[in-house]
Amino acid sequence: MAADMIISNSAEFNEKVLNSDVPVLVDFWATWCGPCKAIAPALEELSAEFAGKAKVYKVDVDDHAEIASQYGVMSIPALFVFKDGKVVDKQVGASPKAQLALMLNRAL
């Protein structure tokens, strides 16, 4: 997994997600979550395919429970699309890459 996709603290979340000038797909995940690992390659591909148009970041719910709690994340993977600092789409559970791409395209 690309290190630049990982959100490491609340300030970084605010800067990279809430203050982004492009839509952002956020994957709330954990290292012990099998379905989270299963969709990781698709997320990396989407990050490259949407470069310049949208961004993809990952938030570890164990390391950042306060961020996950703020958005009501109860099950993972939970995928949220943010635009202009607001959640515009969300999906709980592993989804095929095409579904995740559709979520991002709707936000463009």
Hey, is 96 helix, strand or coil? coil
Q: What crossing angle do the helices spanning 34-49 and 97-107 adopt, rounded to 10°?
A: 50
For the annotated catalytic residues, the residue numbers are: 33, 36
Q: What angle do CA 35, 36, 38 make, to 5 degrees?
A: 60
